[in-house]
Amino acid sequence: MTASGRRAVRPAHILRCAMICGSFLGPASAGLYDGRYAGDQVIRMIPHSYEEVQFLRRLFENLRADLWQPNAASLIRQDGAVDVHVGRGAAQELKGRLRGAHIGHRVLISNLQMEVENQSGSRSSRSRRSEFQHNYEVYHPLEEIQNWMFEMNRTHPHLVHMFSIGRSFEGRPLYVLQLGKRAQPRKKAVWIDCGAHAREWIGPAFCQWFVREALTSYHMRRLLTQLSFYVMPVFNVDGYVFSWTTDRFWRKTRSKNGRFKCWGVDINRNWRVKWCDEGASSHPCDDTYCGPYPESEPEVKAVAKFLRKHRKRIKAYISIHAYAQMLLYPYSYKYATIPNFSCVEDTAHKAVMALYSAYRERYRYGPASTTLYVSSGSSMDWAYRNGIPYAFAFELRDTGHYGFLLPESLIRPTCTETMRAVNTIASRLLRKCPH
């Protein structure tokens, strides 16, 4: 894809942390994130013809807007929902243009600031973390997640091993928890990463939930005797911190681009697999920016190095994202069928059925290219190309009602059902694929 002329989505200035961090202290402040989302809206439209697709693509390449779904104007396609976050003024302009083009729309979130505050509603009334118990049903900032990791490591010396695989652009350690008895170093392993995209907070919440379940449930404890899990609760640590302090809807890393005033690279477009081709942008201001070269991001480089080193043992790669309610497998970058399609397809089908059995939530599943959209340079395709036979990406709840602002009250059902799907995939690795 060539560089688009789209303007920077974000204002170039950064609010001072003292001001932002202060806003978390109590209801007397101007609101979370200094009230910057007051009056902003999230609007959904669905183009039903080629002409409407072209109209929306042109529109969002020029309008100051933050696309939630899909992640770039070039990825808009016929009959696919387009969710966009627009500022106060831009919302009216957008609605006017849509009316002019006879394209229907629906307001998903009418006051984004209120929804941001609602998502964190329990913050004041419920204890986020007592000395004895980590609360798995609230969203945690990075420091709390890392403290919890140290605590897991300290209290489960025979089952948990915590280590760092490198450092982020801003110098934060990239921590991973290895789960499983250490006595058998050569057993099969599963890699799970969460929080590749900063604003998808349900991801890190799931990784924490997964670790707790793995250490406490009977079924999982048994699984741990035969499998190891590598769990990376927050892949994009710098972006995650930024989404807590400054911009709730930040997606990319926080690396600097020399010539531009835009920051960050899309962690899921930066891998050396058909890098920066269809579905990725070469413009640093875009949300799907592929970076100056493959593995330019220290976070991607560190995970790629680790996976390469352990690829003989790692039989499944699982990346947790949101939102869309989908279970995706390769390829992302092309429409071809993978060689072990029947095994992977059957596993995905069973995983989605297991997920459905919990709360009757429907997930679509299939190759990412046809189920979601074509995108190049993704971690899933890279893992598959590097010999990991089961590579999946989850898009967790919901389908757009709350979008990235999934309330804390939905952490439990979302994680419970996702556990069933991940369990199904993990158990599958222990059996020979019948096909």
Question: Contact residues for Zn ion (CB under 5 A)?
Answer: 197, 321
Active site residues: 395
Which pairs from 380-383 meet CB under 8 Å and 24+ separation? 380/317, 380/319, 380/328, 380/329, 380/330, 380/332, 381/271, 381/273, 381/274, 381/330, 381/331, 381/332, 381/333, 382/271, 382/272, 382/273, 382/304, 383/191, 383/307, 383/317
When the beta carbons of 113 and 378 are compared against Zn ion, the nearer one is 378
User: What's the min distance (Å) between Cβ of 323 and Zn ion?
Assistant: 9
Nearest to 172 by CA among 340, 298, 322, 6: 298
Select 321 or 397, whichever has its Cβ closest to Zn ion.
321
CA distances in angstroms from 371 to 32, 150, 352, 395, 428, listed in the order given: 35, 38, 14, 11, 23
Nearer to Zn ion, 228 or 375 (CB): 375
Task: Give the shortest CB-156-to-Zn ion separation in angstroms.
Answer: 29
Closest CA to 393 of 160, 189, 191, 92: 191
Residue 21 CB contacts under 8 Å (≥ 6 apart), including other chains: 245
Residue 266: CB minimum distance to Zn ion, A: 9
Please give the order of strands across the beta sheet that includes 228-232: 160-167, 173-179, 228-232, 189-194, 314-322, 390-396, 326-329, 364-367
In the bound state with Zn ion, the residue whose beta carbon lies nearer, of 248 and 321, is 321
| AA identity, residue 9 | V
In the complex, what is the shortest distance from the CB of residue 29 to Zn ion, in angstroms, rounded to a whole number?
A: 30
Least separation in angstroms between CB 18 and Zn ion = 30
State the residue number with the nearest CB to Zn ion. Answer: 321
Longest dimension (CA), the chain: 67
CB nearer Zn ion, residue 44 or residue 197: 197
